[in-house]
Structures are given as C-alpha cells and as structure tokens.
Structure 1
Amino acid sequence: MSKESADNLGTVEAENAENTSVVDEADVKAVSDTVLLFPRPTQDPNDPLNWPRHEKFATYLTVCFFTILSTFNSSNFTVAIGPLATEFNVSTTKAGYLVCFNVLLLGVGNPFWVASMRVVGKRPVYLASLLLFIATNTWSYEANTYGSLLASRILSGFASSAADATVPALVADMFFIHERGHCMMIFHLALSCGFFLGPLICAYITQEAGWRWTCGFLAIAGAFTGLVGFFSIHESNYNREKADTELPASSYGPKKSFAANLSITGGYDREASFWKTMRIILSLTAYPAIPWTGFTIGAFVGWNIVVQLTASRTFTAAPYGWEIGSLGLLSISGLIGALLAFFAGGKLTDIIANRMTKANNGIRLPEFRLPALILPAFVGPVGILIFGLCVAYKTHWIGPAVGYAMQGFGLTAVANVLITYAVDGYQPFAGECLVIIFVIRNAIATILALYTSDWQLATGVKNAFGEMVGIQYFLLLFAFPMYFYATQLQEIPQETVHDKWGWVIYRCTYGDDVAWTRFKDIINLRSRQATAESDTPEYVNSLEWKFVDDQHMLEGATRDQLRIHFRKWATEAIKVECPNCPNEYVDCFPRYNYFIQVDEDVLRSVVYEAPQPPNRDLWGEGYVKFVHAHWKSQLELYPDEVNVDEQSYEPVDGCCEEDVGWMMIASDLMERTFYDSWNSRETWYIDYRRPPDMLYY
C-alpha cells in the first residue's frame, strides 16, 4: 500500500468527530486531510456511530455504572468472611466460596448474555439482567441458610456478567477505532471502582449495619440503575456488514424519536442464531491471542482477590487488630492506583498505536497496542511483591498500601491494553472473543481464590507472593511473540475454518493463447515464491487460483456480467469449500468478495511489459484489474438524487463516480500478505485507487 493512501488511516483526532450527530457525506470519507473514520459510518442518523455524543455516553455510562455494581457484587463479601463464617457456623474457607463462585459465574455467565444479545439486542439484555440482579440481591438479603445464600450469590454473579464481556462490543458499536482506547479505559475504571470501592463501602456497611445490608444496598442501587437505564440505554445493534456506506442520507428514515428508543425489540435479528453464536465463541479459542489475554488478565484479577482475602485475614488479627471498616480503607490505595492508570492504560495506548500507525505508512495493526504494556508490566508485579513481603514481615500498613496501589495500577492498565488489543484484532466478534477472555479470567481468579489459603500455608506468605510475581512475568513475556509473530498467530485458526485461498481470475481476451498460458505461469510462480519466502510458507499448499477460461461466455463480457457469474459461483463455493463456516465469517474471506479480470491490456502489461520471473515486479509495471464483486453504481441506484453535473471525475468505462468498482493493482500483489489484508470490506475504502492510478507496494 502506498504512503499516500496509508496516511489516511494515520493518527486520528477525536475532536473532529466529537460533536457530529450525522456525518456529512464528505466527512464519511475523511474528516480532515489526515483522518479516515473507521469503521466507515453510513449516512443513517440511526447508525450508532452517528449518534450525538450525549446519546452515546448516556448509554455507555449507564452500562458502566452497572459494571461497577457487578464487580462490587463480586467483592462485597471479601471483607465479611469472619462475620459470615460465625453466623452460618462454617469455616472461613467455606465462607470464601460465597466470593469464589460468584466470581466464577461472573465469567461463565458471559456466553449466555453475549449470544442472547446477538439475537434480541443489547437493550433488552441489560434491562432483563438488571431485574435479575435486583431479585438475587434481595434474595441474598433474606437468606437464612448457607445453602440459600450460596445459591443467591451464584445467580447474582450470573446476572452481573451481563455488564462484563458485553461492554467492549457496545464500545465497538458506538465509537470509532481511534476513540476506543480512551473509552475502554472508562470501562476498566468502572471494573476497578467495583473491585476497590466495593470492599470499602461494604466494610463500613458490614460494621455498622451487618453484612445483609451490603446486599440490600446493591439491590437498591440496581433498581436505581434499572430505572435510569430504561430511559438512557438505547439499542446499539446495527447490521454494519449489510449497510451500504455509499447511500445518501435521504435514502434513510428520520432519527428515531425518544419513544421509539424505548422499544425493547429494536435490536432483534431474525437471521441471528443463539447456538451459532455459541459455536463462534468456542471456535475463537483457537486464536492464541485470546486465551493468552484471558490468562494474563486472570492472573492480575486473581492476585487482586488474593490480596483482599489475605488482607482480611492479616489486618483483623494481631498485631494490627483492625476493625472491618478500617480494613475497607486499604482498598482506597488500590483505587488510587487504578485512577492513575487512566492515562497510562487508556489515552497512552491510543497515542502509541496512532504513532506506530503513521510510522507503518498508515496501516494500523492490533499489536500496536502492546508496547503500552511496558509500564504496567513493571509496576503491577512489583506491587504484588511489595505487598507480600510487607505482610510476611508484618511491617507498617503503609507498605502493603503502596503495594496494593501498584497492583491496582497494573491490573487496570494491563486489562485495558489487552482487551483493547483484542477488540481491535477481532472487531466483528468483539463480544464473542471477550467472552472467552472473561471466562478464562474469572476461572483463573476463582481457582486462585479457592486455594490461596492452602498455598500460603504450604509455602509461606513470602514465597507464595514471590511465585505469584513469577507467574505474572511468565504470562507477560508472551507479549513478545504476540507482537513479533502476530500475523502467523492470528492466521493459525483460519486453516481450521477455511484453508483455501486465491481469487477467481476471468480470462476476457482470446487473441493470444500463448500469452494467456504465460500469464498463468507468471502468477502461479510469483505468488508461490512470495508465499514460500514469507513468514507463513505453509500456505503455499492451500493456494488455488481459479482460472475461468470460457470464450463463449466471457469474450466481450461486461464487469456487471462477470459480477453476476461470480456471485453465483461464490454462493455455491462457500457451501463446498467451507460447509461449516458461519455466515458471519464469509465477509472475512477475500476469495468470495473480489475477483480478477484479465483483458488484453492486462495480458500485455504482465506478459510483455513487466520484468519476468525470477525478477520481481517491484514497481508495478504489470497490473491486473481487481474487481469488487458487490459494487453498485450510485448513479444507477439513485438517478434522481445524484447530480451527474456535480461529478468531477473523468469517465472510466463511462462511469463518472469516484468509486468505479474496480482498480488496477500491481501483479506482484497477488500473494498471501496482500490477500489477507482484504479480510474486511472496509479495506476497499482505505486502499482504493481510481484508475488509471495503481495500487502497489
């Protein structure tokens, strides 16, 4: 890709789009000379990307407040282990199950809610889960037996999970890619506020009113959130894959009224399937970046629970002898660390990623988020070590408080960097991949919380915390292969879904059979040689150019006729080549969305004018015609709305539009790396060159 086009995807300034409610047609393509909005919004005023800022943040902040309550709910009993064990006559380990299994369901419940959102939409899921949250915390308040309380805590964890993995998908719905790091930081601050403020508030409630009122407080807060959310949470599900970004605003209906936004059926998708979404969720475990992210965040969250449980046992005993309320004050240090991470884990990730994008000629890669791990990867584990050593040697409380603050900083920043990285890398399935991450995260946290007492008894507090630091650094070191071998690691699972690659190539000229044979040899040789020399040489064996040579059908055929033939072929080919491929994946396969047209000019360019193998065509002297299979002329679709006289482009095959549905690409681009770059339809709008300009490296 040339630098000229790449710069359009460089650093993007949020203020250019901050107050945009409906993006003007010119602004859709570029908000300024160096800005391209991604994802590309439509002209639809109901497109969540086009919502006014206050509407976006009313929805987002309400859900984030629910997130605060969900993590508050998971940690509210960490300071009440003693009173719970006494009241129900159980061991402190068994009392700890009330925390552990709630945390487990906070993760395990995610697949159900995310799959439900695909079918019914986000608004009804948030409202229904808030009702369940209120009911289960009311049940906890009234519980009179340990079994009843445990059951209510498990179900309240399930209800809370609706405000967990679903939130990054909400961010992807409403915000452009250059805004997400900062917006995701709000989500992680919400998580941290629940983790750190929860024990503080619950400690004083438990001390002054008893542990039952911690559940009563959550029920009341949930009711307030549900009431506000009924009016403020708007449906953000929008079928972007089927949306046409070229349609003028007049082709859409008006902005939804306030009353229309209160509907709970606006996000219903007849074509979506609950079980298909569950299958997609399971298939995403094959991406190494996803389980790694889950294990890494799980370690940080797990250590946070270990710190809280260790503090509960340590500071209420000699020589400290703190009351429960004072114990809650320790969590302020963790909150301070989380607040300090707001810049380091949020805006800084955007700054680093945007600068690396510019340095990479405008090509934004998900792994550009990972360098932002350096600071929190140092601070967080060192904080765990400080806390463990201070507790082991029973130092002044300020030492553990400093360590806890550093842990809070590391947890918040690392979680945001890694989850933003995952959302960038797997945007079409942001909710689904975050489900896997959060299930792993909470499973790890539960296991650690269950066995932390035995672990510390077996090895000693000092050694246990030292081993915890070692585990953290072991997991963080995987960031290096995730950064330097990102392409290979991200491509591995594609073989399990669809391992055939290469485009359909239509022969549309029949005056020189020798040149056609030579053309096929050149394309085959170059593509195989380039792939063999790449980082993924194994893809040589799955290359299949489909050369279509039918003079009766193709000689003199128009591009529209080729599109009709290609779309029929693609429909059948998908069934044969990837029968188990979910429909949502089809747009990720360039093979079924683009094709190559070879006419007399192309044949002459590649065979007679370009350098011949083994020389590489580095300067693009030889080219092919790269055709968008789903392109439609706006002049034909909307003759009454598009003014031909306003078109400022020279005709190309009679078309005066900027986008003529095809472009000239250098023949040396017909290899695996370029092919993979077309796994999103947005790539067309980023890399498009209007003929006679050519796209080349």
Structure 2
Amino acid sequence: MDPNAPKACELKVNPDGSAQEVEDIGTAEAAPLPTSAADLTQDERDFLLARHGTLELDPMPTGRADDPYNWLQRKKVINILLVSFHTFMTTFNAGAIMPAFSRIAADVGVTVPDASYLTSIQILVLGISPLLWRPLGDTYGRRPVFLASLVMSGVFNVGCALSTSYAMLIIFRLLVAFFIAPASAIGSGVVAETFFVRERPAYIGMWTVMVTLGVPIGSLIFGPVAYVASWQVVFWCLAGVNAVQTVLYFFWGPETLFMRETELATATMTTTSSAPAPAPVAAVSASTFRRKYLDFKRINPAPMVRGDFIRPARLASRMTVLLPALSYSVIFLTGSILVTLEIPQLLEEKFGINTAQLGLQYIPVVVGSLMGEQLGGFVSSRWMAFRSRGMGPGRPAPPPVRLWMYYPGALLTVAGCIIFLARAEFSTGYEVWPVVGSGIASVGNQLVTTVMMTFAVECNQDVAASVGVFVNLLRQTIGFVGPFWFPYMFDGVGVALSSVVITAIIVVFSILPAIGAQVVGNKRFS
C-alpha cells in the first residue's frame, strides 16, 4: 500500500478485491481478505467450488453469495450489458445529430461548423465530468450514480428538443453530456468488481467498443429520422431511450461496489459476540435484496476529501497508465473522431447527398469497429494464451506481451485515414472509397482501444476504476481539441496532404508512447 496515499483511501475497496490495510472504523478489526483457497473455511470452499467449478480464482472471492464475484454468470452479464449500453449512449447522444448539422444550422442561424460544436463540446464534458462522478460512485455506489445519470440525461434531452436558439442547445447539450458520462469512465471498475481476471479482456472489450459504436450508429439511425421528421424528434427519441434505460437498470442493475473489508469486519465482530454468526454462504436474503436494489445510502464509510476528485489525474505519474492512455487517445482522435465528425463536412456538399444518405455513410465505421473488437478481444486473448504456453506451467504471459497487438491497429488507422482524406479530396463524384477508409481506420481504432485498455487495467488492478476515468479524461480532452484545428489543417495544407500530418502525429504521439509502455512494462514484469 502506498504510504503517501491519504488516509481516506485506506478504506476504499480495490476493484479487483485485493487486500489492503484497513483503518479501525470503530466496530471491529477487519479480517484479512482471502488470497487463496487456504484462507477460506471448508464451507466456503465447497460453496465456491459449487458456484465456479474451481478454486483457481483470481482474485479470490469471499465465501459470501452477495459478493459480486459470486453472482450467477447471467446476473453479471445482464449488469455489464446495461452498463455497456449506458456507455454506448454517451457517444450515441453525441453522434445522433451529426447528419442533421445542416438543418440545425439553418434553423438556429449558424454555420455548419458552428453546429458541429454541439457535438465537439460534448466530447470535452464527457472527459471532465467523471472526475466528479467517480468519487460519488466510490462512496455511494455505482447504482445511484447510474440511475441519476439516466434520469437527468432524459430530462435535458427534452430540453434540447424544446430549444429554440443555438445558445439553448449548447447549454442543454452540455448538461446532457455531464449527466450521461459516468458509465463511460467507471465501467472498467464495474468489470473489475464482478469478473475474474481471465474474463476481463472480453468484457472490457465489450465496454470499450460501445464508446466507439455510439457515434456511427447514432448517425446511421437518426440520419433518416432527421430527414423524414426533424432534428427535434431526434432528441425526443433520445429522451425516450433514457427513460427505458432507467426502468431496466432499476430492476436489473444491482450494486457492484462491495466493501469486502467492512463486510468481513462486521462478520468477525458478529462471530466474536454472543449472537450467532451469519452463514457465509447463505442465499441472498430479502434484506440483502432491499440493500442492493432499494436502499440508496452511503456504502463506503471513508469520508470523501477534495483529493478524491483529482485522484485519477494523479495516475499520470504511472507510466503504465499515461503511455497507453496517450497512445490510445491519439488513435481515437484520428481513427474515430476525425473520420466520423468530418464525414458531414467533407462529403455532404461535395457528393450532394441528403441527411438520410449521409447517415448510411457510417455503416463501414460500425462494421470496422466490430471487426476491430474481435481482433482486439478474441485474437489478443489467443495470442496471450499462446505466449503463456511458453512461460512454463502456472505462469501467464505478462501484460506487455499483449501490446504486440497494438502495432497492426496503428498501421490500419494510418492506412484508413490516408484513404479517407485522399479520396475525399480527389473524388469527382460519389464513390465508396472515402468511407472504406473510415471503416479501415475504425478497425485499427478498436483494436488499439481493447489492447491498450486491457493492458492499463491489468497493470493497475488496484485502481481499475480510476484507470477508466483517467483514460477517458485524456481521450476526451485530446478529442475535443481536434475538431477545432481540423478545418485549419484542411485549409492550410489541403485535405489529402493532411494525411501526412495525421501520420506524423500517430507516429510521434501514439506509436512511440506504445513502445515506451512496452519497455516500462517489460522492466516491471521481468
């Protein structure tokens, strides 16, 4: 444990369930968390064996049925699906109006580039706001934060639908972005709180691909809606989706923040008193159901301090977080934001396509992102398993081995951006090559996303939730800057030659940091 960390951290549970020193909270001295099956009673071992089919579990859960690691698999999967869809809606909200930029601009009296700020300003807020949401989620739990997020997002989407001026739209879009943001940042913590290490790459991949898919699917679906109806209908639909999400999460989204130290301390105190000890492997009771679904109160007894709100930013001192986050953020800027945000501005007028047809140009981005996720999750897991066989019995391949899968992703992103920008300038009539380029870039972007996020979480399991917040902050901040300088770059060097600038940026600020992350990781795990 870091001796320099503030005391408030000492009671915070590690998302992966690993042991920490715990301060006396005035009830009982916390029992040590189990690190192996030998630390459990026979009843607890029998329960875990019946539930999981093995005692080779990492991290080792407690012997309690209400421990999220011990939930039934379908309960875990339903919960992460809800959280992942919540994450999807963060960027879905941002991308839904992109095909309607020209209509919005005409209705509120601004230019199309000005209308695009309704999306780009959300990018920055989506990065900053989790600094507030993470401490609240660590103290009061994930569930109340997610529910408040969904309710307020729906309310402010209604405000967007009723807006009559550009200023009103900007204000309500900022508020929507602020409230919809939590799942995109602390989703990594939810994965680490419910799934074992061997399962995490697949579910982290599912969570991260939703960030990428939101923009193109939002544009694909609502391009025709905005063409047939109006851009106001888009916001009414978004509010309706938020309402449905709220109902689903209320009934099927249990709390995943489980204070193992506090729970075991309470069990220890009860055991040493005259009262009978609670059965450690008892089924979830009605009181537990009420606590998980109906009670909204403080879970973590540690007081919140001002440092909690900037603690994720301090992860910049960890090279196994900063370097992969920077590398991934630059790929996200070029392989996702550039090729999606610029489709309306580069292709709509040049090709003379309408709002509905513009939405169809995002199909390759969706297909490419799904392909990239398969490469980043399935193939990289097979790669790690292959390398593990050469490490000897019981020795998994270290996290830096996974980074070899980054380089194909970076090269695909470069190739896709070159095709997209070159054909966007030199095409004389409508052709499919610009969006083929955006699809190739999307494959590379998602491959890099899954690999880098998994590497950062594997190297920093003690702060998995904060890793997601930090990566989100850096990604969204860099992504916010891009839309403001893209037009100047196109005007200065031309659209096609901008691909040279983009390639140089990827080499310097993505490939070199990835090499650095691999070097640092190899030293750490050697």
TM-score between the two structures when normalised by the length of structure 1? 0.63
Query: Which residue in 2 is equivalent to 1:480?
Result: 515
Query: Which residue in 1 is equivalent to 2:163?
Result: 143
**Partners of 2:323 and 2:516 within 8 A in 1:** no
1:23 and 1:121 mapped to 2: Cα distance?
28
**Partners of 2:189 and 2:464 within 8 A in 1:** yes
Query: Which residue in 2 is equivalent to 1:456?
Result: 490
Judged with a 3 Å threshold, the aligned counterparts in structure 2 of structure 1 residues 68 and 272 are, in CA distance, closer, same or farther, namely: same
2:303 and 2:389 mapped to 1: Cα distance?
38
- Give the drift of 1:363: 4.7
Indicate yes or no: 2:337 matched with 1:305: yes
Q: What letter matches 2:412 in structure 1?
A: V
Q: What letter matches 2:423 in structure 1?
A: C
Deviations 1:614-636 (A, max 9, x none): xxxxxxxxxxxxxxxxxxxxxxx
- Give the drift of 1:252: 5.3
Secondary structure, counterpart of 1:255 in structure 2 = coil
- Give the drift of 1:305: 2.3
Judged with a 3 Å threshold, the aligned counterparts in structure 2 of structure 1 residues 238 and 23 are, in CA distance, closer, same or farther, namely: farther
Judged with a 3 Å threshold, the aligned counterparts in structure 2 of structure 1 residues 355 and 400 are, in CA distance, closer, same or farther, namely: same
Judged with a 3 Å threshold, the aligned counterparts in structure 2 of structure 1 residues 388 and 236 are, in CA distance, closer, same or farther, namely: same
1:66 and 1:231 mapped to 2: Cα distance?
15
- Give the drift of 1:300: 2.7
Secondary structure, counterpart of 2:496 in structure 1 = helix
Judged with a 3 Å threshold, the aligned counterparts in structure 2 of structure 1 residues 23 and 212 are, in CA distance, closer, same or farther, namely: farther
**Partners of 1:23 and 1:50 within 8 A in 2:** no
Give matches, 1:46-445, under 5 Å: 46-240=66-260, 250-251=279-280, 254-257=283-286, 258-265=289-296, 268-303=299-334, 304-318=336-350, 320-361=351-392, 362-394=395-427, 396-445=430-479
Q: What letter matches 1:185 in structure 2?
A: G
Query: Which residue in 2 is equivalent to 1:560?
Result: none
Deviations 1:73-105 (A, max 9, x none): 112232222112211212223222211111111
Q: Which has the higher helix share?
A: 2
Judged with a 3 Å threshold, the aligned counterparts in structure 2 of structure 1 residues 249 and 417 are, in CA distance, closer, same or farther, namely: farther
- Give the drift of 1:418: 0.7
- Give the drift of 1:141: 0.6
Deviations 1:627-679 (A, max 9, x none): xxxxxxxxxxxxxxxxxxxxxxxxxxxxxxxxxxxxxxxxxxxxxx8xxxxxx
Q: What letter matches 1:313 in structure 2?
A: Q
Deviations 1:161-218 (A, max 9, x none): 1120110110001101111111112112322321210111121111111111111111
**Partners of 2:133 and 2:182 within 8 A in 1:** yes
- Give the drift of 1:260: 4.4
Judged with a 3 Å threshold, the aligned counterparts in structure 2 of structure 1 residues 166 and 454 are, in CA distance, closer, same or farther, namely: same
**Partners of 2:187 and 2:468 within 8 A in 1:** no
User: Which shows bigger deviation, 325-334 or 191-200?
Assistant: 191-200
- Give the drift of 1:272: 4.7
Query: Which residue in 2 is equivalent to 1:446?
Result: 480
Give matches, 1:604-643, under 5 Å: none
- Give the drift of 1:155: 1.0
Secondary structure, counterpart of 1:450 in structure 2 = helix
Q: What letter matches 1:432 in structure 2?
A: S
Secondary structure, counterpart of 2:302 in structure 1 = coil
Secondary structure, counterpart of 1:187 in structure 2 = helix
Query: Which residue in 1 is equivalent to 2:14?
Result: none
**Partners of 1:377 and 1:410 within 8 A in 2:** yes
RMSD: 2.6
2:109 and 2:372 mapped to 1: Cα distance?
41
Unaligned runs of 5+ in 1: 1-21, 492-672, 674-697
**Partners of 1:124 and 1:264 within 8 A in 2:** no
Secondary structure, counterpart of 2:349 in structure 1 = coil
1:55 and 1:255 mapped to 2: Cα distance?
13
Judged with a 3 Å threshold, the aligned counterparts in structure 2 of structure 1 residues 406 and 261 are, in CA distance, closer, same or farther, namely: same
1:240 and 1:327 mapped to 2: Cα distance?
51
Secondary structure, counterpart of 2:99 in structure 1 = coil
**Which of 24, 33, 56 pairs up with 2:46?**
24
- Give the drift of 1:479: 2.0
**Partners of 1:189 and 1:338 within 8 A in 2:** yes
Q: What letter matches 1:434 in structure 2?
A: G
How many pairs align?
A: 467
- Give the drift of 1:358: 4.1
Secondary structure, counterpart of 2:427 in structure 1 = coil
Judged with a 3 Å threshold, the aligned counterparts in structure 2 of structure 1 residues 26 and 270 are, in CA distance, closer, same or farther, namely: closer
1:473 and 1:376 mapped to 2: Cα distance?
12
- Give the drift of 1:328: 0.7
Deviations 1:389-419 (A, max 9, x none): 1112116522112111111111212111111
- Give the drift of 1:242: 6.1
- Give the drift of 1:254: 3.5
**Partners of 1:117 and 1:125 within 8 A in 2:** yes
Secondary structure, counterpart of 2:404 in structure 1 = helix
Secondary structure, counterpart of 1:237 in structure 2 = coil
Bigger Rg over Cα: 1
Q: What letter matches 2:403 in structure 1?
A: L
- Give the drift of 1:486: 1.8
2:209 and 2:315 mapped to 1: Cα distance?
27
1:36 and 1:175 mapped to 2: Cα distance?
14
1:457 and 1:369 mapped to 2: Cα distance?
39
Judged with a 3 Å threshold, the aligned counterparts in structure 2 of structure 1 residues 47 and 407 are, in CA distance, closer, same or farther, namely: same
Query: Which residue in 1 is equivalent to 2:27?
Result: none
Secondary structure, counterpart of 2:57 in structure 1 = coil
- Give the drift of 1:28: 9.7
Judged with a 3 Å threshold, the aligned counterparts in structure 2 of structure 1 residues 370 and 264 are, in CA distance, closer, same or farther, namely: farther
Deviations 1:31-56 (A, max 9, x none): 55xx8311111111011111001111
Deviations 1:48-71 (A, max 9, x none): 111001111121111111112111
Unaligned runs of 5+ in 2: 1-43, 269-276
Deviations 1:553-605 (A, max 9, x none): xxxxxxxxxxxxxxxxxxxxxxxxxxxxxxxxxxxxxxxxxxxxxxxxxxxxx
- Give the drift of 1:26: 6.7
TM-score between the two structures when normalised by the length of structure 2? 0.83
1:423 and 1:272 mapped to 2: Cα distance?
26
Judged with a 3 Å threshold, the aligned counterparts in structure 2 of structure 1 residues 294 and 26 are, in CA distance, closer, same or farther, namely: closer
**Partners of 1:294 and 1:439 within 8 A in 2:** no
